[in-house]
Structure 1
Protein backbone atom coordinates (compact mmCIF):
# COMPACT_ATOMS: atom_id res chain seq x y z
CA UNK A 1 0.00 0.00 0.00
CA UNK A 2 2.80 2.47 0.83
CA UNK A 3 4.37 1.77 -2.53
CA UNK A 4 1.07 2.59 -4.25
CA UNK A 5 0.74 5.83 -2.30
CA UNK A 6 4.27 6.89 -3.22
CA UNK A 7 3.62 6.06 -6.88
CA UNK A 8 0.43 8.15 -6.87
CA UNK A 9 2.15 11.06 -5.16
CA UNK A 10 5.44 11.04 -7.11
CA UNK A 11 5.29 9.15 -10.43
CA UNK A 12 1.68 8.53 -11.50
CA UNK A 13 1.92 10.41 -14.81
CA UNK A 14 4.64 10.25 -17.42
CA UNK A 15 5.43 12.97 -19.92
CA UNK A 16 5.43 11.33 -23.37
CA UNK A 17 8.77 11.31 -25.13
CA UNK A 18 10.71 11.88 -21.90
CA UNK A 19 11.67 9.90 -18.85
CA UNK A 20 10.01 12.50 -16.59
CA UNK A 21 7.23 11.37 -14.32
CA UNK A 22 5.27 13.34 -11.77
CA UNK A 23 2.37 12.74 -9.45
CA UNK A 24 -0.21 14.31 -7.21
CA UNK A 25 2.45 15.97 -5.03
CA UNK A 26 3.58 18.10 -7.98
CA UNK A 27 0.01 18.99 -8.91
CA UNK A 28 -1.01 19.72 -5.31
CA UNK A 29 2.06 21.92 -4.98
CA UNK A 30 0.52 24.33 -7.47
CA UNK A 31 -2.03 25.28 -4.77
CA UNK A 32 -0.21 27.70 -2.43
CA UNK A 33 0.25 26.49 1.17
CA UNK A 34 -2.58 23.93 1.16
CA UNK A 35 -1.05 21.78 -1.58
CA UNK A 36 2.35 21.48 0.08
CA UNK A 37 0.65 20.88 3.41
CA UNK A 38 -1.37 18.03 1.92
CA UNK A 39 1.78 16.50 0.44
CA UNK A 40 3.51 16.79 3.82
CA UNK A 41 0.62 15.03 5.56
CA UNK A 42 0.87 12.11 3.14
CA UNK A 43 4.63 12.05 3.73
CA UNK A 44 4.14 12.01 7.50
CA UNK A 45 1.68 9.13 7.12
CA UNK A 46 4.43 7.11 5.41
CA UNK A 47 6.89 8.08 8.17
CA UNK A 48 4.40 7.01 10.84
CA UNK A 49 3.92 3.65 9.13
CA UNK A 50 7.70 3.20 9.10
CA UNK A 51 7.76 3.98 12.82
CA UNK A 52 5.00 1.42 13.42
CA UNK A 53 6.99 -1.14 11.45
CA UNK A 54 9.92 -0.60 13.81
CA UNK A 55 12.46 1.27 11.68
CA UNK A 56 15.32 2.73 13.74
CA UNK A 57 15.37 6.39 14.73
CA UNK A 58 18.17 7.25 12.27
CA UNK A 59 16.05 6.10 9.35
CA UNK A 60 12.93 7.81 10.69
CA UNK A 61 14.96 11.02 11.06
CA UNK A 62 16.18 10.76 7.48
CA UNK A 63 12.60 10.23 6.31
CA UNK A 64 11.40 13.28 8.27
CA UNK A 65 14.22 15.26 6.67
CA UNK A 66 13.01 14.19 3.22
CA UNK A 67 9.45 15.33 4.03
CA UNK A 68 10.74 18.62 5.46
CA UNK A 69 12.94 19.27 2.40
CA UNK A 70 10.04 18.54 0.08
CA UNK A 71 7.73 20.82 2.07
CA UNK A 72 10.11 23.74 2.49
CA UNK A 73 11.62 23.83 -1.00
CA UNK A 74 8.31 22.75 -2.54
CA UNK A 75 6.60 25.82 -1.08
CA UNK A 76 8.72 28.19 -3.20
CA UNK A 77 6.58 29.26 -6.17
CA UNK A 78 7.56 27.63 -9.50
CA UNK A 79 11.01 26.52 -8.30
CA UNK A 80 9.32 24.33 -5.71
CA UNK A 81 7.06 22.74 -8.30
CA UNK A 82 10.07 21.87 -10.45
CA UNK A 83 11.83 20.52 -7.35
CA UNK A 84 8.84 18.24 -6.63
CA UNK A 85 9.16 16.65 -10.07
CA UNK A 86 12.76 15.62 -9.34
CA UNK A 87 13.04 15.08 -5.56
CA UNK A 88 10.23 12.52 -5.00
CA UNK A 89 10.35 12.37 -1.20
CA UNK A 90 7.58 9.77 -0.92
CA UNK A 91 9.43 7.30 -3.15
CA UNK A 92 12.67 7.98 -1.27
CA UNK A 93 10.97 7.22 2.03
CA UNK A 94 9.28 4.04 0.82
CA UNK A 95 12.66 2.94 -0.56
CA UNK A 96 14.18 3.43 2.92
CA UNK A 97 11.51 1.09 4.30
CA UNK A 98 12.06 -1.50 1.55
CA UNK A 99 15.83 -1.37 2.01
CA UNK A 100 15.45 -1.84 5.76
CA UNK A 101 13.51 -5.05 5.25
CA UNK A 102 15.52 -6.19 2.22
CA UNK A 103 12.56 -6.10 -0.15
CA UNK A 104 13.14 -5.35 -3.82
CA UNK A 105 10.56 -3.13 -5.59
CA UNK A 106 10.09 -5.87 -8.21
CA UNK A 107 8.93 -8.25 -5.48
CA UNK A 108 6.05 -5.91 -4.64
CA UNK A 109 4.84 -5.83 -8.24
CA UNK A 110 4.80 -9.64 -8.50
CA UNK A 111 2.47 -9.97 -5.49
CA UNK A 112 -0.38 -7.97 -7.03
Structure 2
Protein backbone atom coordinates (compact mmCIF):
# COMPACT_ATOMS: atom_id res chain seq x y z
CA UNK A 1 0.00 0.00 0.00
CA UNK A 2 1.13 3.52 -0.67
CA UNK A 3 0.43 6.60 1.45
CA UNK A 4 -2.58 7.65 -0.63
CA UNK A 5 -4.17 4.22 -0.24
CA UNK A 6 -3.52 4.29 3.51
CA UNK A 7 -5.19 7.69 3.83
CA UNK A 8 -8.13 6.59 1.68
CA UNK A 9 -8.54 3.46 3.82
CA UNK A 10 -8.45 5.48 7.05
CA UNK A 11 -10.92 8.04 5.68
CA UNK A 12 -13.28 5.24 4.67
CA UNK A 13 -13.12 3.85 8.24
CA UNK A 14 -13.79 7.28 9.73
CA UNK A 15 -16.65 7.92 7.31
CA UNK A 16 -18.27 4.61 8.23
CA UNK A 17 -17.93 5.41 11.94
CA UNK A 18 -19.34 8.94 11.53
CA UNK A 19 -22.39 7.72 9.64
CA UNK A 20 -23.00 4.85 12.08
CA UNK A 21 -22.89 7.30 14.95
CA UNK A 22 -25.15 9.91 13.31
CA UNK A 23 -27.14 8.44 10.43
CA UNK A 24 -28.05 4.75 10.53
CA UNK A 25 -31.56 5.63 9.35
CA UNK A 26 -33.68 8.67 8.57
CA UNK A 27 -37.03 9.57 10.07
CA UNK A 28 -39.49 9.06 7.19
CA UNK A 29 -40.58 12.26 5.48
CA UNK A 30 -37.73 14.31 7.01
CA UNK A 31 -34.00 14.89 6.63
CA UNK A 32 -33.49 14.02 10.30
CA UNK A 33 -31.17 11.09 10.84
CA UNK A 34 -30.77 8.81 13.84
CA UNK A 35 -27.61 6.95 14.72
CA UNK A 36 -25.91 5.20 17.60
CA UNK A 37 -25.06 8.57 19.17
CA UNK A 38 -28.76 9.33 19.48
CA UNK A 39 -29.67 5.90 20.79
CA UNK A 40 -26.86 5.65 23.37
CA UNK A 41 -27.42 9.30 24.28
CA UNK A 42 -30.86 8.43 25.62
CA UNK A 43 -29.13 7.03 28.71
CA UNK A 44 -28.72 10.09 30.95
CA UNK A 45 -25.14 11.45 31.29
CA UNK A 46 -23.34 8.08 30.90
CA UNK A 47 -24.78 7.60 27.42
CA UNK A 48 -23.62 11.02 26.29
CA UNK A 49 -20.11 10.39 27.63
CA UNK A 50 -19.98 7.01 25.87
CA UNK A 51 -21.25 8.59 22.65
CA UNK A 52 -18.40 11.14 22.83
CA UNK A 53 -15.69 8.45 22.75
CA UNK A 54 -15.88 7.73 19.00
CA UNK A 55 -15.71 11.49 18.35
CA UNK A 56 -12.57 11.78 20.46
CA UNK A 57 -11.07 8.80 18.62
CA UNK A 58 -11.87 10.50 15.29
CA UNK A 59 -9.98 13.59 16.44
CA UNK A 60 -7.01 11.40 17.39
CA UNK A 61 -7.02 9.75 13.95
CA UNK A 62 -7.39 13.17 12.26
CA UNK A 63 -4.26 14.31 14.10
CA UNK A 64 -2.41 11.19 12.90
CA UNK A 65 -3.55 11.90 9.32
CA UNK A 66 -2.09 15.40 9.49
CA UNK A 67 -5.12 17.63 10.02
CA UNK A 68 -4.26 21.22 10.84
CA UNK A 69 -4.59 22.55 14.42
CA UNK A 70 -7.55 24.68 13.31
CA UNK A 71 -9.40 21.64 11.97
CA UNK A 72 -8.64 19.68 15.14
CA UNK A 73 -9.92 22.56 17.30
CA UNK A 74 -13.12 22.74 15.23
CA UNK A 75 -13.62 18.99 15.62
CA UNK A 76 -13.01 19.19 19.38
CA UNK A 77 -15.52 22.03 19.65
CA UNK A 78 -18.13 19.90 17.83
CA UNK A 79 -17.61 16.93 20.17
CA UNK A 80 -17.67 19.18 23.25
CA UNK A 81 -20.84 20.93 22.11
CA UNK A 82 -22.51 17.63 21.21
CA UNK A 83 -21.63 16.14 24.60
CA UNK A 84 -22.54 19.18 26.71
CA UNK A 85 -25.86 19.98 25.06
CA UNK A 86 -26.60 16.28 24.54
CA UNK A 87 -26.53 15.80 28.31
CA UNK A 88 -29.58 18.06 28.73
CA UNK A 89 -32.71 15.87 28.91
CA UNK A 90 -34.95 15.98 25.81
CA UNK A 91 -33.41 19.19 24.38
CA UNK A 92 -30.08 17.39 24.09
CA UNK A 93 -31.66 14.43 22.32
CA UNK A 94 -33.28 16.71 19.76
CA UNK A 95 -30.00 18.63 19.35
CA UNK A 96 -28.09 15.36 18.80
CA UNK A 97 -30.48 14.31 16.05
CA UNK A 98 -30.18 17.67 14.27
CA UNK A 99 -26.50 18.55 14.79
CA UNK A 100 -24.68 15.33 13.75
CA UNK A 101 -21.26 16.28 15.14
CA UNK A 102 -19.51 13.15 13.85
CA UNK A 103 -20.58 13.74 10.26
CA UNK A 104 -19.60 17.40 10.57
CA UNK A 105 -16.19 16.34 11.85
CA UNK A 106 -15.67 13.80 9.09
CA UNK A 107 -16.55 16.35 6.42
CA UNK A 108 -14.29 18.97 8.04
CA UNK A 109 -11.41 16.48 8.10
CA UNK A 110 -11.98 15.53 4.48
CA UNK A 111 -12.01 19.20 3.39
CA UNK A 112 -8.93 19.95 5.47
CA UNK A 113 -6.90 17.07 4.06
CA UNK A 114 -8.02 17.90 0.51
CA UNK A 115 -6.95 21.52 0.94
CA UNK A 116 -3.59 20.44 2.38
CA UNK A 117 -3.07 18.05 -0.54
CA UNK A 118 -3.81 20.81 -3.06
CA UNK A 119 -1.31 23.13 -1.36
CA UNK A 120 1.41 20.50 -1.11
CA UNK A 121 4.46 20.81 -3.29
CA UNK A 122 4.98 17.94 -5.73
CA UNK A 123 7.81 15.59 -4.95
CA UNK A 124 10.50 15.52 -7.62
CA UNK A 125 11.78 12.17 -8.61
CA UNK A 126 15.50 11.79 -8.25
CA UNK A 127 17.67 10.60 -11.05
CA UNK A 128 19.29 7.26 -10.34
CA UNK A 129 22.81 7.48 -8.95
CA UNK A 130 25.54 6.40 -11.28
CA UNK A 131 27.96 4.09 -9.61
CA UNK A 132 31.36 4.00 -11.18
CA UNK A 133 33.24 0.75 -11.25
CA UNK A 134 36.74 2.09 -10.76
2:28 and 2:72 map into 1 onto residues whose CA distance is: 35
CA displacement 1:66-103 (0-9 Å, x = unmatched):
00000000000000000000110000100011101229
1:83 and 1:90 map into 2 onto residues whose CA distance is: 13
4+ runs deviating over 4 angstroms = none
Of residues 27, 30, 48, the one that matches 1:15 is 27
Of residues 103, 112, 121, the one that matches 1:91 is 103
Q: Which residue of 2 aligns with 1:29?
A: 41
List runs of 5+ in structure 1 lacking aligned partners.
104-112
- Aligned-residue CA RMSD in angstroms? 1.2
- How far residue 55 of structure 1 moved from its aligned partner, in angstroms, is 0.8
Q: Which residue of 2 aligns with 1:110?
A: none
SS of structure 2 residue aligned to 1:16 = coil
Q: TM-score scaled to structure 2, two decimals? A: 0.74
1:27 and 1:48 map into 2 onto residues whose CA distance is: 24
SS of structure 1 residue aligned to 2:15 = helix
Which structure's relative contact order is higher, taking Cα pairs within 8 Å and 6+ residues apart? 1
Larger radius of gyration: 2
Q: How many residues align?
A: 103
Q: TM-score scaled to structure 1, two decimals? A: 0.88
- How far residue 15 of structure 1 moved from its aligned partner, in angstroms, is 1.3
